[in-house]
Structure 1
Amino acid sequence: MTKKTISWPDAASPVAEAKAYERIIHGDTVVDNYYWLNDYFKKGPDSAKVISYLEAENTYTAAMMKDTEGLQTNLFDEMKARIKETDESVPYLRNGYYYYTRTEEGKQYYKFCRKKGNLEAKEEILLDIDAMAEGYPYYAASGFSVSPDNKLLAYGVDTVSRREYTVYVKNLETGKILTDKIDRTSGGATWANDNKTLFYTSKNPVTLLSEKIKRHTLGTNSASDVVVYDEKDNTNYIGVGKSKDGKHLFIYSGGTLSSELFLLSADDPNGKFKVFQPRMKDVLYSVTPLADRFLILTNDGAKNFKVMECPLDKTGKENWKEFIPHREDVLIEGLDEFKDYLVISERKNGLTQLAVRNLSDGQQHYLNFGEAAYTVYSSTNVEYNTDVVRYGYTSMVTPSSTYDYNMKSKEKTLLKQQEVLGGYNSEEYETERVMATATDGTKVPISIVYKKGFKKDGKAPLLLYAYGSYGSSMDPTFSSTRLSLLNRGFGFAIAHIRGGEEMGRQWYEDGKMLKKINTFTDFIDCGKFLIEQKYTSEAHLYAQGGSAGGLLMGAVINMAPSLWNGVIAQVPFVDVINTMLDESIPLTTNEYDEWGNPNHKDAYEYMKLYSPYENVKAVEYPNLLVTTGLHDSQVQYFEPAKWVAKLRTIKKGDNVILLKTDMDYGHGGASGRFDYLKDVALSYAFLLKLENITK
């Protein structure tokens, strides 16, 4: 089928200067002409030239998309109009107070509030993020943690978008911010039971790795904070937290393959953390404390995880006894403990489910939801002494909903469903779950949504989305912004490809390291399936992915360039080998268990087979919109910039390549609740232009 003729302005695309840089490793020499584009990040001599190049690309993108400016404004306005501007989250009870956030009309951020005892009580505004964010292009507040006596609030602030937070403490009785100020943290802080000691995760200033857990005493200078844990394995992430019953402080250290936990009584903040069970090769474990024992969720000899138990005073593996056995067809994802009940988050046949177990008699039952494709998850459950579990529920046609479920009476109460302003009727849309067959015979689930009346005659446009890395499952959820595509005739599909964990732990393991290419071939096979089944055709099939999903986009357009009419790659991880060879780049060493370490020849050679930047060739690529952020800490701006520069010089044909760099933001884009819609509007306008849809 021939591709449509699209009218683009006659603008000249920028050409990045080629400067040969040789990479020699394992006897293999590769010339990288665009290595210099990392100079802004490295503070090198070409820093200013990098900024000029990125700005030239932005100017070109704006020129090429000029005739869609009115459409982008319309899209932004209609997506914003669906959002209830004056809104409030469902309050949750913690230690005698109801906590919630609320938003106000026209404001980008929110207010963090509480009421004492009941919801009719006087409101206390703990943090007014709208006021705090004034004057900042980017503002993120996170890790809100109230002291056990309810008098102090610790919170983290990031104004650069590199996920480096400064922790502050506010006196909730006087409203004053204390002099305590802790820089370079991951954002959260955990209180000991003395109301004056905080534990937090400290980051390396260059690599941004979480390296140390420190103890801070209120009123002291953070420069003298005590290191209570120093992680020597730079492939692990670390964090600190507190058990729901308030008795235990935990330090967690974990990579993709193995983990370790340390324990301290929350009443003894100056004590020494003790190891729960020393780390074991290729064994992950996490711990849930009950009143009389610990539960351990582990994959030790159990691919899809099992639950073990041990006494409170004997935590080593030799004392573990089986509590919930391993099952081949069910992945156990998490445990939520209550005084009398345990809620188990599971995944079966690619769908999430919740099991409720009575701790006194061992009786267990599942919650029933009655939809073909949906997502359910345990929500904010901070109270230990309760019979009520709060859970979230959504599907591709059901807006995000919050329920309370009484585990004793089995009664469900809908507390809130996301309101879609302007009228939304789920009956007007349809969702399906189908299975595509991959090249090796594996059945890959696809979740699809479209507006009723969508014809399966191969002529409709369809956007296929996926992620497929880190065992992160892309479950079917509702999106009010997506309605702007569906209402214009698009279908939308999520490919649940290997590399995620939708179908169990093996699904993840079959899409990482030296099996990574399965992720890409799965996505291509899903695209082909949708064409065969007449949902769409090559002339109308589009693909989108971000971060590691952006790597997916880069790989699939090299492997099957003619399958897609247009592709959106957001903050794409496309220069895999060069990034994984540079340990000064944030997160590199944390990622070795996911991608491999290219200092090892087998990993290097395998990465070279799929890394998008290494595999650019002289073919006709689909139309491309590539987005990045100058301050991105997860995937540095220079990866997409180098990729686009190389594509421009090598590709054939007239399809466009657009690069949009956000000069104020990082990996997650804009921080305000409306600003990010401008990025969505640009992406949608790009797709609609390729379909000659102008309104």
Structure 2
Amino acid sequence: MSSQMPPKAKKVPSERVHHGDTVIDEYAWLTVKDDPDTIAYLEAENAYTEQATAHLKPLQETIFQEIKSRTLETDLSVPSRKNGWWYYSRTEEGKQYGIQCRVAATGETPPELKAGEPLPGEEVLLDGNELAGDSDFFAIGTSAVSPDGTMMAYSVNFTGDERFTLRVRNLATGEILPDEIPGIFYGGAWSADGTAFFYTTVDESWRPYRVHRHTIGTAAEDDVLVHEETDERFWLGIGLSRSERYLMLAAESKITSEVRILEADDPAGEFRVVRPRETGVEYGVEHAGDRFLVLHNRNAENFELATAPLDDPGTWTPLIEHRADTRLLNVDAFQSHSVVHFRRDGLTGIRILPGDGEPYEISFPEPIYDVGPAGNPEFVTERLRLGYTSMITPASVYDYDLATRELILLKRKPVLGGYDPDDYEQFREWATASDGTRVPISIVVRKGTERPAPTLLYGYGSYEVSIDPSFSIPRLSLLDRGFVFAIAHIRGGGEMGRRWYEDGKFQQKKNTFTDFVAAAEHLKAEGWSSSIVARGGSAGGLLMGAVANLAPESFAGVVAQVPFVDALNTILDPSLPLTVIEWDEWGDPLHNADVYEYMKSYTPYENVDDRVYPPIFAITSLNDTRVFYHEPAKWVAKLRDTARGGPFLLKTEMGAGHGGRSGRYDAWREEALVLSWILDTAKVTK
């Protein structure tokens, strides 16, 4: 094979028959991960991508240095107070991973932060750099300190497959205890006295389906199975209430939930069900002193907040009734007040529920922004920690004083090199979809940019996930080169409430794709965009493949990261991770012919044809357990064989998972490659 020619995947016809439909899949052989031919093909694709992007090396290095030079590499987070300690994390220049620390607490006010300096009396809890060693990949799945502050449970992974090994450290002595539990999932919870730790494990389909109780100092094989979920649509998770009075064990599908509770001081006791599961009813429970708060959607599409007695938690009395224009997202309970996080008109907000006064909402000055509770582990406090950002305001941490109703800025993420938010401006536009629905678009641009300008349009549009307007240091490398950056808040996401999500799933899924195309056409029609590069990842990668089929002429290029582009074949196979769970999101094409036909009409891999496609850059990871590497590999192979245009590039991280490279410098370098490809594709080379 010439070094200038792209790899050509072999064709091995494989027949699939569903609902009387016979399909020949010539690239199904790529699903066999341990086949030497598969690895050889992926490595050949990597070599071709390396050669095809070689001319971008100088620009990639320039952008990498821009990201690095704008980032305060030695920095620390604002400490959060819990049980007599201030907890925080920090980073050090030249090191890939964060360091988790604490200092003894005195008073309600966080210690004064000094850039580049650890806090006096610092105790290092976990140093990610030491734990990672020379590994190419490293991730922490959980890090939980016991209520009395003497023990820490943490889990690590070195491959990206999201199977973690749990260890326990005695914080008083620094000793790593013999306790070691392999193959666990994210998260976990301590008992009140710190003698037991609860954790989850996964089945062969990567579904967290069991909760176990580990007694500190005993062998893992002696751990007690607390609960097993036999319904394949449900995941299990376990946590500790903010009050630390209750263990909360939740079983959740995409549309239904069921919570069990247990007094945290009785770890060997029996969990009791708050309210038996009812198909289509989702709820969450928060302990609030002499009662529970329950956030639920029973006869309340956008959710309502209810109270429930401690001895009868399944009896719900409305506290904040349902509103069609406001989606209630979460509730945090404290000793003297509660806090509701909500969404309205495409923006997030905060409502305070005082224990002895009228509810009120906190106002913020910018036209578009994102705000939410952040780092509030203490149950007894008169301050609320908030995280705030916008497309021109870097991530900011505030304390809100409930007595004075004052917002106190504790820290704004530094942006080095003279960044001035007044040099940029943000806008909210509304596109009109093909059915008349108004679709919000968030836009940021450097002042003085000549329009129409090249544009990067980002989208996701699934699982009720909202892509809120936020700040990005790497994005400045585009804006300062004359780019417009825009987010299309399309249906299938949650930006406009639960109905917005419902109208972009199941048999309405195509609304997600047509909304994105409508947003692109609006940006051009309104003089924002001269050309548009589209970008999305995971389910947003499905969006990228779908719009490339639907309207390839609308886009100058497409970046698809860990893209879910072979969705139909994946959702047809119940043995694969997540498939059965996903039937509540996409429908069940295995047992329903109508769902099969509808999915087949939009899934990217199934609909590649011989039209002219824009350049496409697909990025994946070999060890991804959420979207398998073979989905983009098959897609790119079919594009090369069937479509015109391109070029079509595939880059596979051979030692990473769904989130890509784990170290921050590695991630910056990868982002610099993507941004340099976007600039080059849009013919911006400076």
Q: Judge same fold: TM > 0.5, yes or no.
A: yes
Matched, 1:216 2:207: no
CA distance in 2, matches of 1:581, 1:325: 40
Deviation at 1:208, TM superposition (A): 1.3
SS at match of 2:16: strand
Secondary structure (helix, strand or coil) at the match of 2:68 reads helix
CA deviations 1:505-544 (Å, max 9, x no partner) are 000000011111100000000001111111113xx21100
Q: Normalised by the size of structure 2, how large is the TM-score?
A: 0.97
Matched with 2:649 is 658
1:69 to 57, 82, 88: 57
Counterpart code for 1:223:
E
Paired position in structure 2 for 1:499: 492
Distance, in Å, in 2 between the alignment partners of 1:309 and 1:345 is: 17
Of 619, 623, 639, 1:631 maps to: 623
Deviation at 1:583, TM superposition (A): 2.2
CA–CA separation in structure 1 for the residues paired with 2:330 and 2:289: 18
For 1:482 and 1:692, how far apart are their aligned partners in 2? 17
Count of matched residue positions in the alignment of Structure 1 and Structure 2 = 673
Letter paired with 2:565: V
- State the 1:121 CA deviation: 5.1
Q: How big is the shift at 1:156?
A: 1.1
Q: RMSD of aligned C-alpha atoms?
A: 1.2
Query: C-alpha distance in 1, partners of 2:263/2:279?
Result: 27
Equivalent residue number for residue 188 of structure 2:
189
**Which of these residues, 425, 430, 449, is aligned with residue 435 of structure 1?**
430
Write the distance in 1 (CA, Å) between the matches of 2:221 and 2:19: 43
The Cα shift of 1:242 comes to 0.8
Q: Which residue of 2 aligns with 1:341?
A: 337
Q: Are the counterparts in 2 of residues 68 and 694 from structure 1 also a CA contact under 8 Å?
A: no
The whole-number CA distance in structure 1 between the counterparts of 2:399 and 2:105 is: 19
Task: Return the match for 1:49 from 12, 18, 37.
Answer: 37
Matched, 1:379 2:374: yes
Give the distance between the partners of 1:309 and 1:605, measured in 2 at CA: 44
In the alignment, what sits opposite 1:240?
238
Q: Residue 461 of structure 2 is aligned with which of 441, 464, 468?
A: 468
Match of 2:130 in 1: 131
1:141–1:157 CA contact under 8 A, matched in 2: yes
Q: Distance in 2 between matches of 1:402 and 1:86?
A: 18
Q: Which runs of 5+ in 1 are unaligned?
A: 1-8
Q: Is 1:152 the counterpart of 2:124 in the alignment?
A: no
- What is residue 38 of structure 1 aligned with on the other side? 31
Distance, in Å, in 2 between the alignment partners of 1:633 and 1:407 is: 44
Aligned residues of 2:450 and 2:482 also touching (Cα < 8 A): no
Shifted more, 596-605 versus 244-253: the winner is: 596-605
Is 1:648 aligned to 2:613, yes or no?
Answer: no
- Aligned-pair distance for 1:194? 2.3
The answer to whether structure 1 residue 105 and structure 2 residue 93 are counterparts is yes
* Corresponding position of 1:399: 394
Going from structure 1 to structure 2, the CA distance change for 1:521 and 1:195 (only over 3 Å counts) comes to: same
* Contact 1:296–1:309 (8 Å) recurs in 2: yes
Alignment counterpart, residue 96 of structure 1, candidates 84, 88, 112: 84
1:91–1:98 CA contact under 8 A, matched in 2: yes
1:231-267 per-position Cα deviation (integer Å, ceiling 9, x unaligned): 1111112100111111101101111111000010001
Q: State the match for 2:665 in structure 1.
A: 674
Using the alignment, how far apart are the partners of 2:583 and 2:339 within structure 1? Answer: 33
Offset from partner CA, 1:426-450 (integer Å, 9 cap, x none): 0111100011000000000000001
Matched residues, percent identical?
47
1:592-631 equivalences in 2 (<5 Å): 592-599=583-590, 600-631=592-623
Residue 516 (structure 2) aligns with: 523
Distance 2:105 2:77 in 1: 17
2:116 matched to which residue of 1?
none
Deviations 1:138-187 (A, max 9, x none): 01113211112211100110111111111110011111111111111113
Structure 2 residue matching 1:677: 3-state secondary structure: helix
Contact 1:215 1:227 in 2 (8 A): yes
- Select which of 289, 306, 309 maps to 1:308: 306
- Written as runs of structure 1 = structure 2, the 5 A alignment for 1:225-264 is 225-264=223-262
What is the CA–CA distance in structure 1 between the aligned matches of 2:183 and 2:48, rounded to whole Å? 36
Please give the secondary structure, in 2, of the residue aligned with 1:675. helix
In the other structure, the counterpart of 1:28 is 21
Letter in 1 for 2:148: D
Instruction: Provide TM-score, normalisation by structure 1.
Output: 0.96
> Paired residue for 2:555, among 552, 564, 584?
564
**Deviation digits for residues 617-664 of structure 1 (CA, Å, limit 9, x no counterpart):** 0100011101000111110000000000001000123x3111111111
Query: Equivalent residue of 1:554, what SS?
Result: helix
The answer on whether the counterparts of 1:567 and 1:622 sit within 8 Å (CA) in structure 2 is yes
After TM superposition, which residue ranges in structure 1, 4 or more long, deviate above 2 angstroms?
Answer: 117-121, 691-695
Task: Map residues 579-594 of structure 1 onto 2, 5 A cutoff.
Answer: 579-594=570-585
Letter in 1 for 2:618: V
- Tell me, in whole angstroms, the C-alpha distance in 1 between the residues paired with 2:323 and 2:132: 48
Q: Displacement, 1:694?
A: 2.7
- Partner-residue secondary structure (3-state), 2:605: coil
Unaligned runs of 5+ in 2: 112-118
Determine the structure 1 residue equivalent to 2:365: 370
Cα pair 1:379 1:391 within 8 Å, conserved: yes
1:117 equivalent in structure 2:
105
- 2:409 alignment partner in structure 1: 414
> Which is worse superposed, 495-504 or 193-202?
193-202
In 2: Cα distance, 1:631 partner to 1:290 partner: 41
Q: Does 1:286 align with 2:278?
A: no
Q: Contact 1:448 / 1:491 at 8 angstroms: preserved in 2?
A: yes
Specify the alignment match of 1:4 in structure 2: none
How many angstroms apart in 1 are the aligned matches of 2:276 and 2:239? Answer: 19
Equivalent position of 1:490 in the other structure: 483
* Alpha-carbon contact 2:196-2:267 (below 8 Å) kept: yes
Distance in 2 between residues matched to 1:384 and 1:232, nearest whole Å: 34
Tell me how far apart the structure 2 counterparts of residues 49 and 305 of structure 1 sit (CA, whole Å): 51
Matched residue, 1:481: 474
| Distance apart, 1:10 and its partner CA | 8.2
Partner of 1:610, secondary structure, is: coil
Offset at residue 360 of structure 1 (A): 2.4
TM-superposed CA distance for 1:674, in Å, is 1.4
Take 1:392 and 1:83, find their aligned partners in 2: how far apart are those partners? Answer: 19
Partner of 1:277: 275
Aligned partner of 2:114 in structure 1 is none
Distance in 1 separating the partners of 2:629 and 2:362 = 44
Q: Secondary structure at the match of 2:274?
A: strand
Q: Which secondary structure state, in structure 2, belongs to the residue aligned with residue 277 of structure 1? A: coil
Question: Which residue is 1:576 aligned to?
Answer: 567
2-structure distance, mates of 1:12, 1:187 = 43
CA distance in 2, matches of 1:576, 1:430: 38
Residue by residue over 1:527-572, the C-alpha shift from the partner in whole angstroms, topping out at 9 and shown as x without a partner, is: 01111111113xx211000000000000001010111010100010
Q: Choose from 322, 346, 351 the match for 1:350.
A: 346
3-state DSSP of counterpart to 2:613? coil
